[in-house]
Amino acid sequence: MNIGSLAKHKWDFGEKNNSKYNFVEKGIVEFICSDGSKGYEKEAPFDKILVSATAIRISDSWKKQLKVGGRIVTPMNSSIWLFIKKSETEFEQKEYPGFVFVPLINKD
């Protein structure tokens, strides 16, 4: 299965669940198809950002779009990392090793 068909499969799965539970109509879920490595500036700032695919490094966009006091949880290499935004420029970071994830793919 290639990335395109996997993405379509996931989209179809989401559409099926939406039809069943009416998440979009209830305002619980919004479908957004874009490059997640750029974040979602339209709705920023965020309290939390959860990433489900391993990244090489934390995205500058995610850092900018996070509130002070907010948290980013992201897999990087074979660890899960927690980043806590202490100020506009300072982050506390904690590593939790021993995991494997699929890679984050961006358009760059």
Render pLDDT for 39-50 as a digit per residue (tens, 0 to 9): 999 999 999 999
Q: Where are the domains of the chain?
A: 1-31, 36-108
pTM (global) more than 0.85: no
Q: How far apart are CA 91 and CA 63, in angstroms?
A: 9
Task: Phi first, then psi: give them for residue 38, nearest 5 degrees.
Answer: -95, 0
Query: Given a cut of 80, is residue 90 above it in pLDDT?
Result: yes
Q: How far apart are CA 46 and CA 63, in angstroms?
A: 10
